[in-house]
């Protein structure tokens, strides 16, 4: 994990994070241009991109970012107003930085200059000349020079992380005359010293006309991890002075220029014999004590997270999967022995492996807010492009989802949001005439529902146009003229391959990638998709997705010789296939479940089992969305922790199964693809209706 | 993959195995292990030549029957029947596949000079399934193009 190649890789990952931060704060600033925290976040991100970029040889990135940073410096210090135009340029610049890093070769060499020129114009219009250097802020300037005691201690790994304490001291010196005292109390014994560790603390007495915020700014990039205490000496007499005043007559000294105070105080007093060396030492000890106390309060909690390559997590997950399988075998084996001690161990291992499984799956979980955040920019850009005013709201950002699922969700969601913006939301004028708020709203939400996560994209636009859908489906031969479709069935048509109602192909949608691709992606994640669109009040697209792709709860069933797993999250109920249901409706495979007709599929026939059916067959009712189907099996074998293994390309043609798993006895069982089976049952249903 | 008659192929280490009455040679480097017959899970609806799945050390691996591709008769498993687990590249992805063999013979060197082109006639199999015919003593050995067999 070391070496220059890795370091550059780490930089790239870090920049990716920083760019996300930058974008979020920029979008935030667009709404709240005066938010100091957002401004600082943006500035910090820029500064780090620039600094580390220069360190790792990304000179073009560093050079370009420097100018952007300067602009933000002016916003922070010189009151430069962040106009929407400036934010737009900053966002474009952020994209440019990404491009500079990812594909520098394909960039127009003039792009950087053009952007900077635009920015300079914008800054000029905003009323501050770009060349103005940020001199003392006009906001909280103190009256005349003041003296400050700055006490700071960097975290032990500060130098390893690229912070140079000498640079911090130099920056302080630039602010005015100052005296620096290094405190060596924390330096460990020689054999315990880490050569790259930072053990010193510093007391800096600084006299400056600048406000306190300028001093704080020196530490802006390390402030979260360090101990820092800045005291104004005039208001709070220096503790050493205070203590020493009690020990000797120091009033004339205190009246001296504060810049030289500390040095003279210590040396002069000891030299004159006014204060003994021990006395000073004890004052220092007392001071040290106070500092420790103060330090306890000022140390910000360190962020307890580490960055781990995704492959390691994947291999950890694989191994946990193996362990779960081995544990299932052990459990099965245990049943053959009537040994209490063995059972105890087996149960202990079961408990541990379940815990390990849950923890490991938890590691892979990330809050969906990180994904939602990306869409702010999308909505921002699209709404400008389309001339629509759109507000993006979110809820449930903290809902966690497997990282792999989430990554594969990004493209479908982009597509759905684009559709909502392009087709769903009306332009402001139309909305006003319809008595709606001219500003449209797109709401993203995520909630847990059992072992599933429901993600909803809702817009308050015109809703789905049923007549247009029907006309389009007729035109494409998807339905017949006289087809009687229920409303949900009609809406489902938009997921049919090649279906697009956009009258005009816009830049955004209608490019051939349709909702069918979205649907396929969601289904490949073992999820399902649904549309709800009451006329005129907008539309909701609801994605329901499994929490994880790796391990699921399954229902183990037997059909003929074979054993199969049905994902438990899809199972609604199990009923017995009674004789009259089986025989009574000749050739009609429908169950009457509390008044509803549910089609059923005899898996024994579908799998061409040579065995005669069991006398008491069971029906497992499974559903995706609102649609249900019964699967007739010979026997229900019970629940099974299912570690999912994908099928090879050699079995890609088999739609019935979404994967395979290994059972406790070491044999392989296939996992039924319920979405596929439900669709198959429904087409059987449609066939019946057509007949 | 037609090649000119004079081209000398490289020699290679091969695992020889018997399928029906023929001897086949697999590049020994692609062979991961040889298993006795283990329970096979049938995959309903799968192609005839990949009828099932097996568990190879915790991996779910497709089991292929080359006899189907070469139009040979299926025979009952005997005590000589083995599963040869090979790693091949399918569409650019490394894939592990089990092959049913009626008998596994030995690992032997097949000299490049002894490898002849697939004869155009006199064979009932698709010529592109075979890379060449090698010789081991007086016996002919078929060198199958496993990747092509699986992708066509």
Round to whole Å and give the CA distance between A581 and A590.
8
**Rounded (10°) angle between helices A110-125 and A59-77:** 10
Q: Give the range among A672-681, B36-45, B140-149 with minimum mean pLDDT.
A: A672-681
Nearest to A86, CA basis, from A56, A113, A46, A120: A120
- A674 touches A621 (CB < 8 A): no
At residue A285, what are phi and psi to the nearest 5 degrees? -65, -45
**For this structure, is A419 an active site residue?**
yes
Kindly list the distances between the CA atom of residue A333 and the CA atoms of A44, A144, A338, A377, in Å, as whole numbers in the listed order. 59, 84, 10, 56
Nearest to A227, CA basis, from A159, A287, A299, A165: A299
Q: Do A325 and B93 touch (CB under 8 A)?
A: no
Q: Which residues contact A533 (CB under 8 A, 6 or more apart)?
A: A463, A464, A491, A539, A540
Q: Do A650 and B62 touch (CB under 8 A)?
A: yes
Round to whole Å and give the CA distance between A603 and A632.
6
HSE toward the beta carbon, residue A132, CA cutoff 13 A:
22
Minimal Cα–Cα distance from A221 to chain B, Å?
A: 45
> Taking the alpha carbons of A79, A85, A91, A95 in that order, is the dihedral positive or negative?
negative
B46: nearest CB among A325, A606, A651: A651
Residues of B in contact with A661 (CB under 8 A): 60
Classify strands A562-567 and A668-672 as parallel, antiparallel or unpaired.
Answer: parallel
* The predicted structure's pLDDT at residue A74: 80
By C-alpha distance, the chain B residue nearest A671 is B43
pLDDT: which is higher, A287 or A83: A83
Percent share of chain B, pLDDT over 70: 91
Residues of A in contact with B69 (CB under 8 A): none
Confidence class for position A268, pLDDT limits 50, 70, 90: low
Residues of A in contact with B43 (CB under 8 A): 651, 654, 657, 670
Minimal Cα–Cα distance from B53 to chain A, Å?
A: 7
Listing from the earlier edge strand, what are the strands of the sheet with B139-144? B103-110, B12-19, B22-27, B139-144, B130-136
Round to whole Å and give the CA distance between B89 and B87.
7
Q: Residue ranges of the alpha helices (H) in A607-654?
A: none
* The predicted structure's pLDDT at residue B84: 95
Q: Is A481 helix (H, G, I), strand (E, B) or coil?
A: coil
Round to whole Å and give the CA distance between A634 and A615.
8
DSSP string, A259-288: HHHHHHHHHHHHHHTSS-HHHHHHHHHHHH
Minimal Cα–Cα distance from A560 to chain B, Å?
A: 11
Q: Name the β-bridge partners of A559.
A: A562
Minimal Cα–Cα distance from B98 to chain A, Å?
A: 12
Q: Do A661 and B91 touch (CB under 8 A)?
A: no
Minimal Cα–Cα distance from B39 to chain A, Å?
A: 7
Q: Name the β-bridge partners of A621.
A: A573, A630
Type and span of the H or E element at A366: strand A365-367
Assign residue A531 a region (left: φ > 0; alpha: ψ between -120 and 50; beta: otherwise): beta
Q: What angle do CA A387, A393, A398 make, to 5 degrees?
A: 145
Q: Which of A30, A69, A227, A426 is catalytic?
A: A69
Confidence class for position A348, pLDDT limits 50, 70, 90: very high
* The predicted structure's pLDDT at residue A259: 40
Q: What is the CA radius of gyration of chain A?
A: 34
Nearest to A471, CA basis, from A490, A456, A486: A490
Q: Do B53 and A670 touch (CB under 8 A)?
A: yes
Residue-wise pLDDT for A64-105, tens only, equals 888 888 888 888 777 777 788 888 888 888 888 888 887 777
HSE toward the beta carbon, residue A166, CA cutoff 13 A:
0
Percent share of chain A, pLDDT over 70: 79
Q: Which of A23, A24, A47, A523 is catalytic?
A: A47
* The predicted structure's pLDDT at residue A129: 45
Round to whole Å and give the CA distance between A593 and A591.
6
Q: Is A508 helix (H, G, I), strand (E, B) or coil?
A: coil
* The predicted structure's pLDDT at residue A564: 95
Q: Do B90 and A650 touch (CB under 8 A)?
A: yes
* The predicted structure's pLDDT at residue A235: 41
Has residue A557 got a pLDDT over 90? yes
Q: Give the range among A184-198, A458-472, B109-123 with minimum mean pLDDT.
A: B109-123
Confidence class for position A288, pLDDT limits 50, 70, 90: low
**For this structure, is A354 an active site residue?**
no
Burial class (CB in 10 A: 0-12, 13-18, 19+), A536: exposed
**For this structure, is A69 an active site residue?**
yes
Nearest to A54, CA basis, from A42, A45, A63: A63
Q: Name the β-bridge partners of A567.
A: A554
> Taking the alpha carbons of A252, A255, A260, A265 in that order, is the dihedral positive or negative?
positive
- A548 touches A359 (CB < 8 A): no
Has residue A636 got a pLDDT over 50? yes
Nearest to A205, CA basis, from A266, A249, A247: A266
Residue-wise pLDDT for B110-145, tens only, equals 888 888 777 666 666 777 788 888 877 777 888 998
B62: nearest CB among A325, A606, A651: A651
Q: Do B91 and A654 touch (CB under 8 A)?
A: no
Nearest to A73, CA basis, from A97, A112, A114, A40: A40
Q: Name the β-bridge partners of A401.
A: A366
* The predicted structure's pLDDT at residue A599: 85
* Mutation to test the A interface, candidates B36, B49, B60, most A Cβ within 10 Å: B60
Round to whole Å and give the CA distance between A666 and A644.
14
Has residue A135 got a pLDDT over 50? no
Tell how far CA A252 is from the center of its chain: 60
Residues of A in contact with B91 (CB under 8 A): 649
Q: Which residues contact A374 (CB under 8 A, 6 or more apart)?
A: A20, A410
Nearest to A631, CA basis, from A551, A685, A571: A571
B43: nearest CB among A606, A654, A666: A654
Mean pLDDT taken over chain B = 85
By C-alpha distance, the chain B residue nearest A653 is B46
At residue B142, what are phi and psi to the nearest 5 degrees? -90, 130
Listing from the earlier edge strand, what are the strands of the sheet with A178-183? A178-183, A201-208, A146-153, A227-232
**Rounded (10°) angle between helices A239-247 and A258-272:** 30
- Average pLDDT for A527-534: 84
Minimal Cα–Cα distance from A657 to chain B, Å?
A: 9
Q: Do A662 and B62 touch (CB under 8 A)?
A: no
Round to whole Å and give the CA distance between A96 and A104.
10
Confidence class for position A6, pLDDT limits 50, 70, 90: low
Q: Do B41 and A651 touch (CB under 8 A)?
A: no
Q: Give the range among A601-605, A632-636, B104-108 with minimum mean pLDDT.
A: A601-605
- Average pLDDT for B44-72: 89
B45: nearest CB among A321, A645, A654: A654
Round to whole Å and give the CA distance between B141 and A391.
72
Kindly list the distances between the CA atom of residue A185 and the CA atoms of A201, A284, B137, in Å, as whole numbers in the listed order. 8, 11, 84
* Mutation to test the A interface, candidates B36, B38, B40, B44, most A Cβ within 10 Å: B44
Residue-wise pLDDT for A42-64, tens only, equals 888 888 888 777 777 788 888 88
Which residues of chain A approach chain B closer than 8 Å at the C-beta? 321-322, 325, 561-562, 606-608, 645, 647-651, 653-657, 660-662, 666-670
Nearest to A454, CA basis, from A375, A542, A540: A542
Q: Do B41 and A667 touch (CB under 8 A)?
A: yes
Q: Complex ipTM, two decimals?
A: 0.86
Residues of A in contact with B93 (CB under 8 A): 649
> Taking the alpha carbons of A258, A263, A266, A267 in that order, is the dihedral positive or negative?
negative
Minimal Cα–Cα distance from B134 to chain A, Å?
A: 28
Has residue A665 got a pLDDT over 90? no
Type and span of the H or E element at B152: none
Listing from the earlier edge strand, what are the strands of the sheet with A657-662? A635-643, A551-559, A562-567, A668-672, A657-662
Mean pLDDT taken over chain A = 76
Can you list the pairs that A476-483 forms with residues at least 24 positions away whose Cβ atoms lie under 8 Å?
A: A480/A690, A483/A690
Has residue A456 got a pLDDT over 50? yes
Residues in chain B: 152
Has residue A582 got a pLDDT over 70? no
């Amino acid at each position: 994990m070391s070496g220059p190649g890795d370091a550059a890789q780490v930089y790239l990952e870090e920049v990716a994070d920083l760019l996300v931060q930058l974008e979020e704060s920029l979008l935030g600033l667009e709404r709240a241009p005066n938010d100091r925290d957002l401004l600082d976040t943006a500035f910090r991100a820029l500064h780090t991109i620039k600094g580390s970029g220069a360190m790792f040889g990304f000179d073009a990135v560093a050079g370009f970012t420097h100018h952007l940073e300067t602009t933000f410096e002016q916003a922070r210090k010189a009151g430069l107003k962040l106009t929407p135009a400036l934010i737009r340029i900053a966002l474009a610049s952020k994209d440019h930085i990404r491009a500079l890093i990812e594909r520098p070769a394909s960039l127009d060499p003039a792009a950087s200059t053009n952007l900077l020129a635009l920015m300079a114009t914008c800054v000029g219009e905003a009323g501050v000349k770009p060349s103005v250097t940020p001199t003392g802020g006009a906001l909280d300037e103190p009256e005349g020079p003041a003296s400050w005691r700055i006490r700071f201690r960097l975290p032990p790994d500060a130098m390893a992380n690229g912070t140079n304490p000498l640079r911090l001291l130099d920056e302080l010196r630039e602010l005015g005359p100052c005296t620096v005292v290094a405190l060596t109390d924390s330096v460990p014994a020689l054999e315990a010293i880490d050569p790259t560790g930072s053990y010193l603390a510093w007391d800096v007495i600084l006299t400056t006309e600048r406000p306190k915020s300028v001093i704080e700014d020196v530490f802006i990039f390390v402030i979260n991890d360090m101990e820092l205490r800045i005291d104004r000496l005039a208001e709070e007499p220096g503790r050493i002075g205070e203590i020493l005043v009690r020990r000797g007559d120091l009033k004339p000294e205190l009246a001296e220029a504060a810049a030289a105070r500390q040095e003279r105080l210590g040396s002069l007093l000891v030299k004159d014999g006014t204060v003994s060396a021990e006395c000073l030492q004890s004052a220092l000890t007392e001071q040290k004590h106070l500092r420790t106390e103060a330090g306890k309060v000022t140390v910000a909690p360190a962020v307890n997270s580490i960055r781990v390559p995704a492959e390691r997590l994947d291999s950890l997950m694989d191994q946990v999967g193996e362990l779960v399988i081995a544990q299932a075998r052990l459990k099965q084996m245990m049943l053959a022995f009537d040994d209490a001690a063995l059972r105890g161990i087996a149960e202990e291992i079961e408990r541990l492996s379940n815990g390990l499984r849950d923890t490991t799956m938890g590691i892979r979980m990330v809050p969906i807010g990180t994904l939602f955040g990306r869409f702010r920019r999308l909505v921002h850009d699209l709404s400008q492009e389309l001339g629509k005013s759109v507000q993006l709201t979110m809820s449930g950002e903290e809902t966690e989802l497997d990282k792999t699922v989430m990554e594969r969700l990004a493209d479908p969601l982009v597509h759905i949001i684009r559709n909502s913006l392009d087709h769903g939301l009306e332009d402001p004028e139309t909305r006003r005439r319809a008595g709606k708020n001219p500003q449209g709203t797109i709401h993203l939400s995520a909630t847990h529902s059992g072992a599933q996560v429901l993600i909803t994209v809702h817009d308050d636009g015109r809703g789905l146009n049923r007549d247009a859908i029907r006309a389009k489906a007729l035109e494409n031969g998807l339905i017949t003229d006289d087809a009687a479709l229920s409303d949900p069935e009609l809406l489902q048509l938009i997921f049919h391959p090649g279906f697009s109602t956009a009258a005009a192909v816009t830049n955004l949608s209608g490019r051939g990638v349709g909702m069918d691709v979205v649907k396929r992606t969601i289904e490949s994640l073992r999820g399902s998709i649904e549309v709800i669109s009451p006329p005129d009040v907008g539309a909701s697209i609801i994605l329901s997705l499994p929490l994880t792709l790796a391990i699921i709860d399954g229902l183990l069933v037997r059909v003929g010789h074979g054993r199969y797993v049905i994902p438990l999250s899809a199972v609604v109920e199990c009923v017995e296939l009674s004789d009259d249901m089986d025989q009574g409706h000749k050739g009609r495979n429908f169950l009457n479940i509390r008044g509803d007709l549910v089609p059923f599929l005899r898996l024994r026939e579908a799998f061409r089992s040579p065995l005669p059916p069991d006398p008491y067959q069971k029906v497992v009712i499974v559903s995706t969305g609102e649609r249900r189907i019964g699967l007739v099996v010979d026997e229900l074998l019970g629940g099974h922790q299912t570690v999912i293994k994908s099928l090879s390309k050699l079995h890609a043609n088999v739609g019935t199964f979404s994967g395979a798993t290994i059972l406790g006895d070491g044999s392989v069982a296939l996992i039924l693809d319920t979405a596929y089976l439900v669709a198959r049952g429904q087409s059987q249903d449609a066939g019946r209706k057509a007949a | 993959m037609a090649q000119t008659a004079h081209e000398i192929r490289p020699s290679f280490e091969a695992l020889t195995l018997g399928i029906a009455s023929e001897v086949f040679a697999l590049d020994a480097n692609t062979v991961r292990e040889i298993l006795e017959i283990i329970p096979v899970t049938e995959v309903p609806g799968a192609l005839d030549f990949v009828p099932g799945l097996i568990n190879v050390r915790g991996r779910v691996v497709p089991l292929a029957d080359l006899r189907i591709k070469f139009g040979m008769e299926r025979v009952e498993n005997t005590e000589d029947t083995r599963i040869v687990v090979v790693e091949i590249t399918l569409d650019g992805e490394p894939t592990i596949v089990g092959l049913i063999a009626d008998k596994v013979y030995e690992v032997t060197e097949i000299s490049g000079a002894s490898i002849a082109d697939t004869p155009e006639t006199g064979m009932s199999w698709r010529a592109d399934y075979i890379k060449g015919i090698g010789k081991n003593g007086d016996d002919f050995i078929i060198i199958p193009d496993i990747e092509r067999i699986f992708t066509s």
